[in-house]
Structure 1
Amino acid sequence: MFDSRHIRTFHEVVRAGSYSAAARTLGYTQPAITQQMKALERSVGTPLFIRVGRRMRLTEAGEALERHAGEILERISVAQHQMSAITRLRAGRVRMCAFPSAAATLVPEALARLAAEHPAIRVELQEGEPPDSLRRVVDGECDVTLAFTYPGLHEQVPEELIEIPLMEDQLTVLLPTGHPMARRRAVKLAELAEERWIAGCLRCRANFLHECAELGFAPDIAFTTDDTLVVQSLVAEGLGIAMMPGLVLSFLVHRKVTGRALDPASRRQVSAYVLREHLEIPATALVLDELRAVSGNRVGC
């Protein structure tokens, strides 16, 4: 294994023509140069120089090394500049996975803040629901994932992951604007037992069924879709009502749909998940800081 310091010294010896001249240029003593060249020759297993009178001449091995020395040093220099940029937060890449309502709310705001202060940090965005999104971090397919858990479901999170709590997202009920319950500030789930329902993703549906069972009824689920725009359209046409996360309220697009909080309140926990070692990567840590900041502004939504 070559020592980059020895390669740099070797390159200067060849350029300067002698150990003493290289020593003056590099600020070393001549014995220090001699020791470095001996160490380099030991690592390559053959002499690199021979003396011809007062001059030094490269051996065949020395000529081969010199042909590559400049390129080696240039690559090392480029690598050092890139690493410096990453550690000083001038550059970096973070792969983030987020569930749809977070991707439409928390993520854009966090990335806008990040871009304003650190434009060279690039974030690659993926979309995915837990538990698949959690597994992507463990499998190395992304660096950070945003996921949610429901308190009553006792969901398993891979033990390799570190959870960074971000916010509690209050659940709401989407109703047609003409629905009798739409005039209230909050609605009770038990009062909606006879309604037709539109259910969402597998995890949200499991929580919905759990909460209904706790109240002693089985909901009539007429439609199931992960697409929040489809849910809104179905509600707007009076085809059913839906339990949705509060984050969705910020991008309601139908004027004929309104959202009402549940009474008593029901919430899900929104968190970021990373591998422990990723917490030491500056760009990843900065992304997490921005997610905390924007989530803090939405607590209780």
Structure 2
Amino acid sequence: MFDSRHIRTFHEVVSTGSYSAAARALGYTQPAITQQMKALERDVGVPLFTRAGRGLRLTEAGEALSRHARTILASMEAAQQQLGALARLRAGRVRVCAFPSANATLIPEAMARLLAGHPGVRVELLEAEPPDSVQRLLRGECDIALSFTYPGVRAETPPELVEVPLMEDQLTVLLPVGHQLARRHAVRLADLETERWIAGCPRCRANLLHVCAEEGFAPDVVFSTDDNLAVQSLVAAGVGIALMPALVLSFMCHRKVTGRLVEPHLRRKVCAYVLREHQRIPATALVLDELRRAGAARVGC
């Protein structure tokens, strides 16, 4: 393996024609130049120069290395510039995998601020419900995963990941606007025992079953989908009601659907996850900071 300093010195010797001229150009002593060229020749395994009177002449190996030296140095310079841009957040790519309601709320808010301050950073957005989003992170398919957990529904964090809390998301019940309970500010979960229910993703369905069991009943789940827009349409059509996070209420599309707080108050915890060693990558750390800000702005909304 060549020492990059030796390649740079070799290129200067070839350009200037002598060790002494190269020493003056680089600010070294001539013995230092001589030692570097001897070290490079040991690495190469053959002589690079021969004496030609008072000057130097390149050997065949020296000619071959000279042809490559300019390309090597140009590639090193390009690499240094690119790495410098990444470190100074003038460039970078971050892959974020999030669940649908986060993609429609937290992600746009965070990315708008990110691009305003660092337009060179690029974000690739993926979508998956937990725990699939976290599994994609573990497989190296993304750099940050957004996930949520419910009290009473166990979900352990893999030891190689760091959990970054973003917010707590209030749960609401989605009702048709003509429902007899839609006039209330909050609805007791126990009062919904006889309703038909639309369940969401597997983790959301597990939570629905858990909280209803704590209230002493088993919900009549007649339809299951993880498509938030489909849930709204089903509620609007009178197919059933649904337990939905407050994040979804910010992009409600149906005038015939309304959301009401649930008593007892129910919340889910929204977090970002990142590989422990990736926290130090500047672009990844920046995206995490913006996600924290977006989550903090949502608290109490």
**Paired residue secondary structure (1:101):** helix
Residue 198 of structure 1 is matched in structure 2 by 198
**1:126 aligned to 2:126?**
yes
Instruction: Quote the residue 1:281 is aligned against.
Output: 281
Equivalent residue number for residue 215 of structure 1: 215
Give, in whole Å, the separation in 1 of the partners of 2:262 and 2:218: 18
The aligned counterpart of 1:48 is 48
C-alpha displacement of 1:239: 1.3
Cross-structure match for 1:171: 171
Name the structure 1 match of 2:230: 230
Aligned to 1:153: 153
Query: CA offsets, 1:81-127, max 9 Å, x none?
Result: 00000001111110100000000000011001100000000000000
Q: Aligned pair 1:11/2:36, yes or no?
A: no
- Measure how far apart 1:275 and its partner are: 0.5
CA distance in 2, matches of 1:160, 1:298: 28
What's the CA shift for 1:28?
1.1
172-181 or 150-159, which deviates more: 150-159
How many Å apart are 1:157 and its aligned residue?
2.4
Distance in 1 (CA, whole Å) between partners of 2:151 and 2:239 is: 29
> How high is the sequence identity, in percent, across the aligned residues?
72
1:31-55 deviation per Cα after TM superposition (whole angstroms, max 9, x unaligned):
1111110111111111110101111
Between the aligned partners of 1:75 and 1:254, the Cα distance in structure 2 is 56
Tell me the CA shift for residue 27 of structure 1.
1.2
SS of residue in 2 equivalent to 1:180: coil
User: Is residue 137–residue 145 contact of structure 1 (8 Å, CA) maintained in 2?
Assistant: yes
User: Counterpart of 2:195 in structure 1: which amino acid?
Assistant: E
- The runs of 5 or more residues in structure 2 that have no matched partner are none
Q: Does 1:74 align with 2:74?
A: yes
**1:23-79 alpha-carbon deviations (Å, 9 max, x no partner):** 111111111111110111111111110101111111111111111000000000000
Could you say which residue in structure 2 is the equivalent of 1:97? 97
Indicate if the aligned counterparts of 1:135 and 1:158 stay in contact, CA closer than 8 A: no
Q: TM-score, normalized by length of structure 2?
A: 0.99
Residue pair 1:110, 1:287 contacting (<8 A) in 2 also: yes
Partner of 2:272: 272
**Superposed displacement of residue 158, structure 1:** 1.7
Q: Which runs of 5+ in 1 are unaligned?
A: none
After TM superposition, what 4+ stretches of structure 1 lie above 2 angstroms from structure 2?
Answer: none
How far apart are 1:222 and its partner, in Å?
1.1
User: Counterpart in 2 of 1:262?
Assistant: 262
> d(CA) in 1 for partners of 2:7 and 2:55?
20
* CA RMSD of superposed structures (Å): 0.8
The residue type paired with residue 144 of structure 2 is V
Instruction: Measure the CA separation in 2 of the matches of 1:129 and 1:225.
Output: 12
Q: Which amino acid aligns with 2:207?
A: N
Contact 1:98 1:147 in 2 (8 A): yes
Q: Which amino acid aligns with 1:266?
A: L
Q: Secondary structure at the match of 1:297?
A: helix
Q: Which residue of 2 aligns with 1:108?
A: 108
SS of equivalent to 1:47: coil
Partner SS, residue 74 of structure 2: helix
User: In the alignment, which residue of structure 2 is the partner of 1:291?
Assistant: 291
Tell me, what secondary structure is at the counterpart of 2:182? Answer: helix
TM score, norm. by length of structure 1? 0.99
More displaced 10-residue stretch of structure 1: 146-155 or 70-79: 146-155
What is the one-letter code of the residue matched to 1:46? V
Judge conservation of contact 1:162–1:274 (CA < 8 Å) in 2. yes
1:61 lines up with 2:40 in the alignment: no
Q: Match for 1:35: what amino acid?
A: Q
